[in-house]
Amino acid sequence: MLKIKDIMTTEVFALSETQTLEIARSLMEMKRIRHVPVVDKDKRFVGLLTHRDLLAQTISLLADMDESEQYDLDRHIPLMNVMTKNVITADPEMDLCSAIPILLKNKYGCLPVVSEEVLVGIVTEADFLELTYDLLKNKKQF
């Protein structure tokens, strides 16, 4: 049985809980990612910032404000104030058949992978889609 550790991404772009929304927004745009795990000073997983969270904090779309004003606002908002804190996580040894219902039921786009409270990876919808593609590509017939 395949496990989370078999498909997870281990090179994760994580930020500190004291870093700002400005940094998170820049990171998400630059790296084209939708999920940023948040860690404390000891690299323990403490929360998650998603693209949806970022959009909820964007007032420039609703107000007559230019992009630079939004960045000025973001510069003063620490991630600990806007991140989702009670996030379901996965253990690297969790089997994929246990993880999929968590994603589907909760409509999550990712599961942070945590071992002994420390962030060790992330598994996203894209990881599952890539696995599905590989399985279908290698199968001659349904």
Query: What confidence tens digit (pLDDT) does each residue in 106-124 have?
Result: 999 999 999 999 999 999 9
* Rounded Cα–Cα distance for residues 3 and 15 (Å): 26
Domains and CATH numbers, the chain: 4-138 (3.10.580.10)
Per-residue pLDDT band at 62 (split at 50, 70, 90): low
Structure tokens at 48: 């998650």
* Tokens 């409270």, residue located: 117
Of all helices (H) and strands (E), which one includes residue 52? helix 51-56
Contact 27, 12 (CB under 8 A): no
Q: What is the pTM of this model?
A: 0.86
